[in-house]
Amino acid sequence: TLRGKTALVTGSTSGIGLGIALALAAQGANIMFNGFGDPTAITKLQADTAKEFGIKTSYHNADMSRPQEIELMMRAAADEFGGVDILVNNAGIQHVANIEDFPVEKWDAVIAINLSSAFHTTRLALPRMKANNWGRIINIASAHGLVASAQKSAYVAAKHGIVGLTKVTALENAQTGITCNAICPGWVLTPLVQKQVDARAAEGGISVEEAKRKLLLEKQPSGEFVTPEQLGALAVFLCSDAAQQVRGAAWNMDGGWVAQ
Protein backbone atom coordinates (compact mmCIF):
# COMPACT_ATOMS: atom_id res chain seq x y z
CA THR A 1 0.00 0.00 0.00
CA LEU A 2 1.07 3.56 -0.69
CA ARG A 3 -1.16 5.10 1.97
CA GLY A 4 0.44 8.17 3.54
CA LYS A 5 2.69 8.74 0.52
CA THR A 6 2.18 11.65 -1.86
CA ALA A 7 2.50 11.32 -5.62
CA LEU A 8 2.92 14.22 -8.02
CA VAL A 9 2.07 13.22 -11.59
CA THR A 10 2.81 15.90 -14.18
CA GLY A 11 0.38 16.06 -17.10
CA SER A 12 -2.23 14.01 -15.22
CA THR A 13 -5.39 15.66 -16.56
CA SER A 14 -5.40 13.29 -19.56
CA GLY A 15 -4.14 10.04 -21.03
CA ILE A 16 -1.26 8.10 -19.50
CA GLY A 17 -0.67 10.53 -16.62
CA LEU A 18 -4.30 10.27 -15.58
CA GLY A 19 -4.15 6.45 -15.76
CA ILE A 20 -1.04 6.40 -13.56
CA ALA A 21 -2.47 8.92 -11.07
CA LEU A 22 -5.62 6.82 -10.63
CA ALA A 23 -3.61 3.60 -10.22
CA LEU A 24 -1.48 5.21 -7.49
CA ALA A 25 -4.61 6.66 -5.85
CA ALA A 26 -6.12 3.17 -5.80
CA GLN A 27 -3.09 2.10 -3.71
CA GLY A 28 -3.87 4.88 -1.23
CA ALA A 29 -1.36 7.54 -2.30
CA ASN A 30 -2.39 11.19 -2.06
CA ILE A 31 -2.28 12.78 -5.50
CA MET A 32 -1.20 16.16 -6.76
CA PHE A 33 -2.57 16.53 -10.28
CA ASN A 34 -1.02 18.84 -12.89
CA GLY A 35 -1.80 19.64 -16.50
CA PHE A 36 -4.07 21.72 -18.68
CA GLY A 37 -7.82 21.42 -19.08
CA ASP A 38 -11.25 22.76 -18.21
CA PRO A 39 -11.11 24.05 -14.59
CA THR A 40 -14.55 22.65 -13.73
CA ALA A 41 -13.60 19.19 -15.02
CA ILE A 42 -10.32 19.30 -13.09
CA THR A 43 -12.07 20.29 -9.84
CA LYS A 44 -14.47 17.38 -10.35
CA LEU A 45 -11.60 14.98 -11.07
CA GLN A 46 -9.91 16.04 -7.83
CA ALA A 47 -13.09 15.64 -5.76
CA ASP A 48 -14.13 12.32 -7.37
CA THR A 49 -10.67 10.79 -6.93
CA ALA A 50 -10.43 11.89 -3.29
CA LYS A 51 -13.85 10.44 -2.53
CA GLU A 52 -13.43 7.16 -4.42
CA PHE A 53 -10.10 6.23 -2.82
CA GLY A 54 -10.31 8.05 0.56
CA ILE A 55 -7.19 10.10 -0.14
CA LYS A 56 -6.19 13.77 -0.32
CA THR A 57 -5.91 15.35 -3.73
CA SER A 58 -4.65 18.66 -4.99
CA TYR A 59 -3.97 20.36 -8.31
CA HIS A 60 -1.35 22.78 -9.59
CA ASN A 61 -1.55 24.40 -13.00
CA ALA A 62 2.21 24.88 -13.52
CA ASP A 63 3.26 25.02 -17.15
CA MET A 64 6.05 22.43 -17.43
CA SER A 65 7.89 24.59 -19.96
CA ARG A 66 8.50 27.21 -17.22
CA PRO A 67 11.04 26.44 -14.47
CA GLN A 68 9.66 29.18 -12.22
CA GLU A 69 6.18 27.68 -12.30
CA ILE A 70 7.66 24.23 -11.57
CA GLU A 71 9.32 25.74 -8.47
CA LEU A 72 5.97 27.15 -7.34
CA MET A 73 4.32 23.73 -7.84
CA MET A 74 7.00 21.96 -5.79
CA ARG A 75 6.61 24.57 -3.04
CA ALA A 76 2.84 24.03 -3.07
CA ALA A 77 3.38 20.25 -2.74
CA ALA A 78 5.62 20.88 0.28
CA ASP A 79 3.05 23.20 1.87
CA GLU A 80 0.05 20.96 1.24
CA PHE A 81 1.52 17.46 1.71
CA GLY A 82 4.94 17.97 3.31
CA GLY A 83 6.57 17.10 -0.04
CA VAL A 84 6.60 14.58 -2.87
CA ASP A 85 7.44 10.89 -2.23
CA ILE A 86 6.56 9.60 -5.72
CA LEU A 87 7.38 11.79 -8.69
CA VAL A 88 6.02 10.80 -12.09
CA ASN A 89 7.41 12.95 -14.88
CA ASN A 90 4.81 12.41 -17.57
CA ALA A 91 3.81 15.73 -19.19
CA GLY A 92 4.72 15.68 -22.85
CA ILE A 93 3.87 16.99 -26.30
CA GLN A 94 4.63 15.85 -29.84
CA HIS A 95 5.35 17.66 -33.08
CA VAL A 96 5.82 15.91 -36.41
CA ALA A 97 7.93 17.50 -39.19
CA ASN A 98 11.18 16.99 -41.09
CA ILE A 99 14.20 18.63 -39.43
CA GLU A 100 14.58 21.36 -42.05
CA ASP A 101 10.91 22.29 -41.61
CA PHE A 102 10.77 21.87 -37.82
CA PRO A 103 9.62 25.16 -36.20
CA VAL A 104 12.38 26.35 -33.84
CA GLU A 105 9.88 27.27 -31.13
CA LYS A 106 8.38 23.75 -31.31
CA TRP A 107 11.84 22.23 -30.83
CA ASP A 108 12.37 24.41 -27.74
CA ALA A 109 8.91 23.56 -26.35
CA VAL A 110 9.32 19.79 -26.80
CA ILE A 111 12.76 19.81 -25.13
CA ALA A 112 11.49 22.01 -22.27
CA ILE A 113 8.33 20.00 -21.54
CA ASN A 114 9.47 16.44 -22.35
CA LEU A 115 13.00 16.67 -20.92
CA SER A 116 14.04 19.77 -18.94
CA SER A 117 10.90 19.77 -16.75
CA ALA A 118 11.98 16.37 -15.35
CA PHE A 119 15.36 17.81 -14.38
CA HIS A 120 13.64 20.62 -12.49
CA THR A 121 11.06 18.48 -10.65
CA THR A 122 13.74 15.90 -9.81
CA ARG A 123 16.27 18.39 -8.43
CA LEU A 124 13.52 19.95 -6.29
CA ALA A 125 12.07 16.62 -5.08
CA LEU A 126 15.33 14.87 -4.12
CA PRO A 127 16.21 16.70 -0.86
CA ARG A 128 13.02 15.54 0.87
CA MET A 129 13.32 12.01 -0.57
CA LYS A 130 16.91 11.86 0.73
CA ALA A 131 15.83 13.06 4.18
CA ASN A 132 13.25 10.22 4.28
CA ASN A 133 15.58 7.73 2.60
CA TRP A 134 12.64 6.72 0.39
CA GLY A 135 11.47 7.87 -2.98
CA ARG A 136 10.30 6.77 -6.38
CA ILE A 137 10.98 8.74 -9.55
CA ILE A 138 9.31 7.40 -12.68
CA ASN A 139 10.03 9.08 -15.98
CA ILE A 140 7.59 8.42 -18.80
CA ALA A 141 9.90 8.08 -21.78
CA SER A 142 8.72 6.16 -24.86
CA ALA A 143 9.73 3.47 -27.33
CA HIS A 144 11.19 6.62 -28.89
CA GLY A 145 13.57 6.77 -25.91
CA LEU A 146 15.18 3.60 -27.30
CA VAL A 147 14.69 3.74 -31.08
CA ALA A 148 13.83 6.51 -33.54
CA SER A 149 11.24 7.39 -36.16
CA ALA A 150 11.56 9.93 -38.96
CA GLN A 151 9.98 13.38 -38.45
CA LYS A 152 10.17 13.24 -34.65
CA SER A 153 13.58 14.85 -34.05
CA ALA A 154 12.71 16.86 -30.94
CA TYR A 155 10.60 14.09 -29.39
CA VAL A 156 13.18 11.35 -30.01
CA ALA A 157 16.00 13.59 -28.73
CA ALA A 158 14.03 14.47 -25.58
CA LYS A 159 13.01 10.85 -24.92
CA HIS A 160 16.55 9.48 -25.43
CA GLY A 161 17.63 12.33 -23.13
CA ILE A 162 15.21 11.40 -20.37
CA VAL A 163 16.40 7.78 -20.48
CA GLY A 164 19.90 9.17 -19.85
CA LEU A 165 18.68 11.42 -17.03
CA THR A 166 16.94 8.37 -15.51
CA LYS A 167 20.23 6.46 -15.36
CA VAL A 168 22.12 9.35 -13.76
CA THR A 169 19.37 9.89 -11.18
CA ALA A 170 19.43 6.16 -10.37
CA LEU A 171 23.22 6.12 -9.98
CA GLU A 172 23.48 9.23 -7.83
CA ASN A 173 20.99 7.65 -5.41
CA ALA A 174 22.00 4.02 -5.78
CA GLN A 175 22.86 3.58 -2.10
CA THR A 176 19.65 5.14 -0.86
CA GLY A 177 16.00 4.09 -0.76
CA ILE A 178 15.32 6.26 -3.79
CA THR A 179 14.92 4.53 -7.15
CA CYS A 180 14.55 6.11 -10.57
CA ASN A 181 13.31 4.27 -13.65
CA ALA A 182 11.84 5.07 -17.04
CA ILE A 183 8.76 3.51 -18.61
CA CYS A 184 8.85 3.28 -22.41
CA PRO A 185 5.34 2.89 -23.81
CA GLY A 186 4.51 2.02 -27.40
CA TRP A 187 1.34 3.42 -28.98
CA VAL A 188 -1.36 4.34 -26.45
CA LEU A 189 -4.61 5.77 -27.82
CA THR A 190 -4.58 9.14 -26.01
CA PRO A 191 -5.34 12.62 -27.41
CA LEU A 192 -1.61 12.92 -28.29
CA VAL A 193 -1.85 9.91 -30.62
CA GLN A 194 -5.41 10.58 -31.79
CA LYS A 195 -4.06 13.78 -33.41
CA GLN A 196 -1.55 11.71 -35.39
CA VAL A 197 -4.25 9.20 -36.36
CA ASP A 198 -6.54 12.01 -37.57
CA ALA A 199 -3.68 13.61 -39.57
CA ARG A 200 -2.97 10.28 -41.30
CA ALA A 201 -6.65 9.72 -42.07
CA ALA A 202 -6.89 13.20 -43.60
CA GLU A 203 -3.64 12.89 -45.62
CA GLY A 204 -4.37 9.37 -46.89
CA GLY A 205 -8.08 9.91 -47.49
CA ILE A 206 -8.77 6.84 -45.32
CA SER A 207 -11.08 6.22 -42.36
CA VAL A 208 -9.92 6.84 -38.80
CA GLU A 209 -10.19 3.10 -38.07
CA GLU A 210 -7.99 2.29 -41.07
CA ALA A 211 -5.48 4.97 -39.99
CA LYS A 212 -5.29 3.40 -36.50
CA ARG A 213 -4.68 -0.03 -37.97
CA LYS A 214 -1.90 1.28 -40.23
CA LEU A 215 -0.24 3.23 -37.43
CA LEU A 216 -0.14 0.10 -35.24
CA LEU A 217 1.06 -2.23 -37.97
CA GLU A 218 4.04 -0.01 -38.83
CA LYS A 219 5.58 -0.26 -35.34
CA GLN A 220 3.66 -2.40 -32.88
CA PRO A 221 3.74 -6.15 -33.62
CA SER A 222 0.84 -6.95 -31.29
CA GLY A 223 -1.43 -4.76 -33.41
CA GLU A 224 -3.05 -3.52 -30.21
CA PHE A 225 -2.73 -0.30 -28.24
CA VAL A 226 -1.14 -0.27 -24.79
CA THR A 227 -3.60 1.15 -22.22
CA PRO A 228 -3.15 3.78 -19.48
CA GLU A 229 -4.40 1.16 -16.98
CA GLN A 230 -1.61 -1.27 -17.95
CA LEU A 231 0.96 1.50 -17.56
CA GLY A 232 -0.58 2.41 -14.20
CA ALA A 233 -0.05 -1.18 -13.02
CA LEU A 234 3.63 -1.01 -14.02
CA ALA A 235 4.05 2.28 -12.15
CA VAL A 236 2.48 0.70 -9.04
CA PHE A 237 4.97 -2.19 -9.30
CA LEU A 238 7.90 0.25 -9.58
CA CYS A 239 6.67 1.91 -6.36
CA SER A 240 6.54 -1.41 -4.48
CA ASP A 241 9.15 -2.92 -2.14
CA ALA A 242 9.62 -5.73 -4.68
CA ALA A 243 11.03 -3.17 -7.11
CA GLN A 244 13.63 -1.79 -4.66
CA GLN A 245 16.49 -3.08 -6.82
CA VAL A 246 15.02 -2.02 -10.16
CA ARG A 247 17.23 1.01 -10.75
CA GLY A 248 18.02 2.96 -13.89
CA ALA A 249 15.88 0.71 -16.07
CA ALA A 250 14.17 1.76 -19.29
CA TRP A 251 11.25 -0.63 -19.17
CA ASN A 252 9.34 -1.01 -22.41
CA MET A 253 5.63 -1.85 -22.56
CA ASP A 254 5.13 -1.57 -26.28
CA GLY A 255 3.46 -4.62 -27.86
CA GLY A 256 6.89 -5.75 -29.08
CA TRP A 257 7.94 -2.48 -30.79
CA VAL A 258 11.61 -2.46 -29.71
CA ALA A 259 12.04 -6.25 -29.89
CA GLN A 260 12.24 -6.01 -33.70
Residues noted as catalytic: 155
Nearest-10 Cα torsion for 209, 213, 219, 225: 70
Of 35 and 161, CB closest to ligand NAD = 35
The H or E element that residue 104 is part of is helix 104-111
CB of 109 to ligand NAD, least distance (A): 8
Distance CA 252, CA 169 (A): 19
With contacts defined by CB under 6 A, name the span among 91-99, 129-137, 207-215, 244-252 that binds ligand NAD: 91-99
**Nearest residue to 121 via CA among 241, 209, 228, 7:** 7
The sheet with strand 6-9 has its strands ordered as 57-60, 30-34, 6-9, 86-89, 135-140, 178-185, 250-253
- Pick the binder of ligand NAD from 14, 46, 176, 227 (CB under 6 A): 14
Contacting residue, 2, 7, 9, 16, with ligand NAD by CB under 6 A: 16
Residue 180 CB, nearest approach to ligand NAD (Å):
16
Is residue 252 part of the contact set for ligand NAD (CB under 6 A)?
no
Q: Identify the residue among 6, 30, 65, 181 touching ligand NAD (CB under 6 A).
A: 65
Contact at 8 Å (CB) between 225 and 189? yes
Of residues 127-166, which lie at the interface with ligand NAD (CB under 6 A)?
Answer: 140, 142
Q: Which is nearer to ligand NAD, 29 or 250 (CB)?
A: 250
Q: Does 113 bind ligand NAD (CB under 6 A)?
A: yes
Binding mask 162-201 for ligand NAD (x = CB under 6 A): -----------------------x-xx-xxxx--------
**Least distance from ligand NAD to the Cβ atom of residue 201, Å:** 17
Angle between helices 153-172 and 104-111 (to 10 degrees): 20
**Can you give the length of the chain in residues?**
260
Nearest CA-CA partner of 124 in 167, 87, 153, 176: 87
| Residue 3 or 195 with smaller CB distance to ligand NAD | 195
By the rule CB under 6 A, 17 interacts with ligand NAD: yes
Nearest to 152, CA basis, from 91, 98, 212: 98
Neighbour count for residue 179 (Cβ, 10 Å): 24
Residue 221 Cβ vs ligand NAD, minimum distance, rounded to whole Å? 15
**Is the four-CA dihedral 221, 144, 194, 22 of positive or negative sign?**
positive
Nearer to ligand NAD, 102 or 134 (CB): 102
Contacts with ligand NAD by CB under 6 A lie at: 11-17, 34-37, 63-65, 90-93, 113-114, 140, 142, 185, 187-188, 190-193
